Amino acid sequence: MALIVQKFGGSSVRDAERVRNVAGIITDTYKKGNQVVVVVSAQGDTTDDLIEKAREINPNPSKREMDMLLATGEQISISLLAMAIEHMGYPVVSLTGWQAGFHTDSSHSRARIKKIETERLHKELDKNHIVIVAGFQGISRYGDITTLGRGGSDTSAVALAAELKAELCQIYTDVDGVYTADPRIVKTARKLDEISFDEMLELATLGAQVLHNRSVEMAKKYNVNLEVVSSLERKPGTKVKEVVSMEKMLIRGVTRDNNVARIAVVGLPDKPGIAFRVFSLMSKYNINVDIILQSIGRDNTKDISFTVSEDNLEQAVAVLNDNLSALEAERIEVNDNVCKLSVVGAGMQTNAGVATKMFEALYEAGININMISTSEIKISVLIDEEDSDKALRVVHDAFIN
C-alpha cells in the first residue's frame, strides 16, 4: 500500500463531466489499495470570475480580502469533487487549506508554507478516506486565510507529498507530459519520459507552463518523486526525479517566455556601487531580475540593462523613476516586445558546442540576439517577440530529431 498525492489543475475540474473524470482517476488509484490525498485548484475560470467581481467593487482591494475571496474557488472544487467520489460509493472527505493544516506566513496573495500540521489528514487516512485538499491556500498565524500565489496548487501538492513522505506526487494537467518544446508551436516536439529536477527547474522558470518552479524547487529539496501526467488520457507522463537515466539528447527542451520586458537604466556614472544600488532597489520591492547586461556608454557613463517579468514592469519603472536622481541616472528605457528563448539540458555541461549551435540556428534564420545569459544547464537569449515562434522552431530542430 502506497501513499500517492495527486494534483488536479483548474482545467481538469472545469465542469461536472471533468469532475467525474477526475473522480474516476482518483478512485482507480484508491481501488488498487493505495492511500490517496488529492490537491485541487479552483474550477476553470472561477478565479478570473471572482477577480472580476472584486474589480467591479474595488479596483484595488486589500490582499487580505482578495485572499478571503479567492480561497472560495478551491473550497467549491474540493466539495464538488468529494461529492462526485461519494456518488461513486467511496469514502471521502474534503479539507480546506486550514483544515488540512497548511500554515503559511502572512504575505497575502503570495504566502509561503511554513509547516503542515498533518494530524487531521492522518486521522482521515486512518479512516480509509480519500482526502481532497484545497490547493493554493493556507492560514496565517493571525488566523487569516492566505493564498500561495502563482503555481500555488502545485506547491501545495509537493509540500504535502514531502510532509506525508508520499511514494509519488502526480501532477495532472491537460497535456500528457513535459515536451522538448511547446507542441502547439513546434510540431516536431517530443515528449520526455524522464527529466531531472534541475532541468525541470530551468524549464519551469523559463516559461514551460506544466509545472511551477516553486513546486519543482520544493520537490528537489525534499526529493519528492514527481510525475506530470494527463488527466484526459490514461497513459504514462513524464517522471521528474533526482537522477535520470542517460539519454543521447544533448538538450532536454527549448522554451520561450514572452512575459518578459527589458529595462535599460541609461547614463549612469561609471563608478563602483552603481549596479549594487540599482539591484538593491529592485530586491527591496521584491522584483526579480533576470538577464543583466552592463555596457560602457559615452562620456564616462554606462548603461545597465536587465529583464524583469512583465507583471513587475510597471512597478520596476516607477521605482527607478522615483530614484532617478539618487541613482544619478539620465533616464529609463523600456522594451516589452522581447522574448526569452532558452535551451535546457544537463548534457550541455560537458559540451561547449551547444551555444554555438544555438546561435548558428538563430543566425541562419535571420534572428537578432539582444542579450545572452547562461547557467551550467541552460542558455537563454533575448530576442524580439515577433521572432519567438520561428526561433523556437529553428532552435528545437537544430538539437532534437
Residues that bind a copy of itself (CB under 8 A): 16, 19-20, 50, 53-54, 56-62, 64-66, 68-69, 71-72, 75-76, 78-80, 82-84, 86-87, 93-94, 96, 99, 120, 143-145
Cell of 31: 481501488
Give the separation between CA 284 and CA 277, rounded to whole angstroms: 11
- Write out the three cell numbers for 312: 513587475
Q: Would you say 93 and 82 are in contact if contact means Cβ atoms under 8 Å apart?
A: yes
Q: Which long-range contacts (CB under 8 A, 24 or more apart) does 389-393 make?
A: 389/185, 390/365, 391/256, 391/339, 391/341, 391/362, 391/365, 391/367, 392/181, 392/182, 392/185, 392/186, 392/254, 392/255, 392/256, 392/341, 393/181, 393/185, 393/186, 393/188
DSSP, collapsed to helix, strand or coil, labels residue 71 as helix
In the bound state with a copy of itself, the residue whose beta carbon lies nearer, of 2 and 16, is 16
Shortest spacing between CB 291 and a copy of itself, in angstroms = 37
Residue 239 pairs in a beta bridge with 194, 227
Nearer to a copy of itself, 26 or 219 (CB): 26
Q: How far is the CB of 135 from a copy of itself (least distance, A)?
A: 15
Question: For residue 313, what is the DSSP state?
Answer: H
Instruction: Write down the least CB distance from residue 130 to a copy of itself, Å.
Output: 12
Rg (C-alpha) for the chain, rounded Å, is 23
Give CA–CA dist 401/392, Å, rounded: 14
Report the SS3 class of residue 175.
coil
**Smaller CB distance to a copy of itself: residue 78 or 160?**
78
Q: Which is nearer to a copy of itself, 46 or 180 (CB)?
A: 46
Q: Which residue has the cell 495532472?
A: 172
Cβ-based nearer residue to a copy of itself, 93 or 344: 93
- Least distance from C-beta 36 to a copy of itself, angstroms? 17
CB of 67 to a copy of itself, least distance (A): 8
Q: Which of 236, 304, 314 is nearest to 269 (CA)?
A: 304
**Identity of the residue, 85 or 358, whose beta carbon is nearer to a copy of itself in the bound complex:** 85
CA dist 7 and 211 (Å) reads 11
- By C-beta, is 145 or 208 nearer to a copy of itself? 145
CB of 9 to a copy of itself, least distance (A): 18
CB of 167 vs a copy of itself, minimal distance in Å:
27
Q: How far is the CB of 103 from a copy of itself (least distance, A)?
A: 14
**Which residues are registered as beta bridge partners of 304?**
265, 294
Return phi, psi of residue 84, to 5°.
Answer: -65, -40
C-alpha dist (Å) from residue 44 to 21, 150, 335: 15, 15, 32
Which C-beta is closer to a copy of itself: that of 60 or that of 245?
60
Residue 158 C-beta: closest distance to a copy of itself, Å: 24
Nearer to a copy of itself, 27 or 238 (CB): 27
**3 state DSSP class of 371:** strand
